[in-house]
Amino acid sequence: MNTNTLPLLLIALWSMAAPAQQSSFTVGTANAALGQKATGFLEVPAGTDAATSIPVVVVRGNKPGPVLALVSGAHGTEYASVIALEKVIPELDPAQISGTVIILPLVNIQSFLQKTPHVNPVDGKSMNRFYPGKADGTQTERASFLITKEVVERSDYLIDYHGGDLDENLRPYSYWPKTGNEKQDTITQQMVLAFGLNHIIVVTDRPKDPNASRYLDNTASTRGKPAIAVEAGYSGTVQPQDVSALVNGTLNVMRYLKMLPGAAPMVKHPVWIGKVDTITSEQTGIFYPLVKRGSYVEQGMKVGYVTDYFGKTIFEAQAPAAGVVLYICGVPSMKKSDTVANIGEVVKNP
Ligand SMILES: [Zn+2]
């Protein structure tokens, strides 16, 4: 190679790697021109069951940068996470942003409207368990298919927002998916530290097959896109501190990704959770909690009990290991095999 041509070649390569922000960006019916914010819908067509329209916002920054997807309300009654993205929408000024943000603030509209926890009432399926979805499946599968194509595959990074559902008394935490891909894992670790929730679950057991990814964040991860999930809010409440933790966390991840100016303060002393123990009820009846979300318990400690309808104790729930109460059932209704609590076992080095 003639060394004289090297600088020109480098300039040519650089301009290919970092093109100017191109004109408009369209997701569903939301078409945002450069420097604009647009709203629209992902139209999920009717199939074996009804059609649905999922609201989408595209914020097209003036400056070039990555595409970040923010998705909330797969569980439509995890309200704090939905309200947090509603608050993020007006916070994002396209003039300040480098890159593009795709926001789906409420994926599971029928869950939200009908106040149905955990599932999409149209087909009874969780909207965070059927990724990457199917074009000819039920509504949840068709919606998941469209989100995979229109949102995940067109993003560089993704954050999935959850929280305690109507029956879950939950303390805030995030998930760090450790995939084994060192480069990706370094980025996602920085993303959870930038997000700012100081309890972080290390997840190592997610499916590796992109065609069987199940979860939204894992659908992005298995396609080589760094993705995290975060949880705040509990029991149907919209507490200002939960909403602001999710809003500020979002803006700080954008700072870490250089999509917003400024530096993100990183969590200095994270509590890494290496294992989550789920305690399930061995009986059907009335549940009484004995510990609060976020409290620390010793192995064998009683975290709650179940009585029959006459007040006689028929089951005592004990912590299988020492750890932090990530969430505990927040209502008296208890069926056999339902979750009583999730206990997070703390590890020193994740
Ligand atoms: Zn959820």
| Distance between Cα 126 and ligand 1 center (Å) | 9
Q: CB within 8 A of 154, min separation 6: which ones?
A: 27, 67, 102
Report the pLDDT value the prediction gives residue 350, as an integer from 0 to 100. 87
C-alpha distances (whole Å) from 260 to each of 88, 101, 135, 249, 272 are: 13, 11, 36, 13, 27
What's the sign of the alpha-carbon dihedral 264, 182, 232, 305?
negative
Collapsing DSSP states into helix, strand and coil, what is residue 12?
helix
Report the pLDDT value the prediction gives residue 173, as an integer from 0 to 100. 98
| Distance between Cα 73 and ligand 1 center (Å) | 7
Report the pLDDT value the prediction gives residue 54, as an integer from 0 to 100. 98
Q: Spell out which residues have Cβ within 5 A of ligand 1, the ion.
A: 75, 78, 162
Report the pLDDT value the prediction gives residue 14, as an integer from 0 to 100. 44
Report the pLDDT value the prediction gives residue 20, as an integer from 0 to 100. 53
Q: For residue 300, what is the DSSP state?
A: T
| Distance between Cα 242 and ligand 1 center (Å) | 15
Q: Which residues in the chain come in under a pLDDT of 70? A: 1-22
| Distance between Cα 309 and ligand 1 center (Å) | 30
Report the pLDDT value the prediction gives residue 3, as an integer from 0 to 100. 45
Which H helix or E strand runs over 86? helix 79-91
| Distance between Cα 275 and ligand 1 center (Å) | 19
Helices and strands counted in the chain (H then E): 7, 19
| Distance between Cα 318 and ligand 1 center (Å) | 25
Report the pLDDT value the prediction gives residue 21, as an integer from 0 to 100. 63
